[in-house]
Amino acid sequence: MKRREFITLLGGAAVAWPLAARGQQPAVPVIGYLSTGWQASDAFRLAAFRQGLHEAGYTEGRDVAIEYLWAEGQLNRLPALAADLARRPVSMIAAAGVSAALEAKAASSTIPIVFVTGVDPVALGLVASLNRPGGNLTGVTDLTTELGPKHLELLQELLPTATTIALLVNPSRPDAATISRDLQALGSSRGIQVHVLHASTSRDLDTVFAKLFQLQVPGLVIGADAFFNSQSEQLAVLTVRQGLPAIHVVRQFATAGGLMSYGGGLTALTLA
């Protein structure tokens, strides 16, 4: 969605309310912000979101209000949170993460929904096509889940004699099985066995790294996921502590001490 279209959406929402209902509506348009993560982990994304609003002529608290709902990594909470937003007088919903977008779509077929995701929104049924999304959803994607093969390739260049690699996946993702299967197939074609490990909570990460120590794998690919993005610093510390070469999609992982990152800029994606 272009900035001009965004301005039209918010401005039009205010004038489109029936006259009889305006007395019951908020004085300014309200955006519902639905995230799979935490307020702290989304800080950089929120800064870009507010900057984008400001550049479009909207300042939070003056021209627009934002209601924030956080799943805090508990994806089973998203249906109730999305339904809660759908019942409120929001002009639109901003969905941060594929699971948030899917639940927002399930909650409303009329409220405009703008998503930011790293998956193919067509494959998951969010939109009909990239150029003509249709329905009440639109948004941006950097297709970070498509970078798994590139991550494996870069790690193999660093570890040319490796015959095993570990892949960390969040099993709560709707495409977790596909990500695992595709990277295992690619690894097999390159003579590499890919061990798939699962984590969806901070406690799971401790278990995963204990397992990695037992496996003695020479390298780790951290799958694209909002939870792993939020835990990038902890993941960096764990890989350094174990002396484990690893690659992740977000730059924060590398700046926190992790070996490599390769992917698009999440801040720029949100700002768009």
- Residues 156, 204, single domain; the answer is yes
- Residues 208, 253, single domain; the answer is yes
Q: Could you tell me if 120 and 143 are in contact, meaning their C-beta atoms sit under 8 angstroms apart? A: yes
- Residues 253, 209, single domain; the answer is yes
- Residues 252, 219, single domain; the answer is yes
- Residues 10, 134, single domain; the answer is yes
- Residues 70, 199, single domain; the answer is no
- Residues 13, 71, single domain; the answer is yes
Instruction: Determine, yes or no, domain membership for 271.
Output: no
Instruction: Determine, yes or no, domain membership for 16.
Output: yes
- Residues 129, 7, single domain; the answer is yes
10 vs 28, 47, 52, 53, 207, CA distance in Å? Answer: 9, 19, 13, 10, 46
Burial of 120 (0-12, 13-18, 19+ CB in 10 A): middle
Per DSSP, the residues of 244-264 read --EEESSHHHHHTT-SEE-S-
Instruction: Determine, yes or no, domain membership for 47.
Output: yes
- Residues 158, 182, single domain; the answer is yes
Q: What is the tally of structural domains in the chain?
A: 2
Helix (H, G, I), strand (E, B) or coil at 94: strand
CA 170 to chain centre: 12
Q: Could you tell me if 125 and 135 are in contact, meaning their C-beta atoms sit under 8 angstroms apart? A: no
- Residues 26, 126, single domain; the answer is yes
pTM of the model: 0.67
- Residues 105, 180, single domain; the answer is no
CATH number at residue 233: 3.40.50.2300
Residue 198 structural domain? 145-264
pLDDT tens over the chain, length 272 residues = 444 554 455 555 444 444 444 445 547 999 999 998 888 878 878 888 899 899 999 999 999 999 999 998 788 899 999 999 999 999 999 998 888 999 999 999 999 999 987 778 888 889 998 888 989 999 988 767 778 899 999 999 999 999 999 999 999 887 888 889 999 999 999 999 999 999 988 889 999 999 999 999 999 999 988 788 888 899 999 999 999 999 998 888 999 999 999 886 655 555 44
CA 118 to chain centre: 6
Phi, psi torsion values for 26, nearest 5 degrees: -60, 155
Domain C-terminal end among 79, 106, 141: 141
- Residues 124, 202, single domain; the answer is no
Instruction: Determine, yes or no, domain membership for 270.
Output: no
H or E segment at 30?
strand 30-35
Q: Could you tell me if 114 and 138 are in contact, meaning their C-beta atoms sit under 8 angstroms apart? A: yes
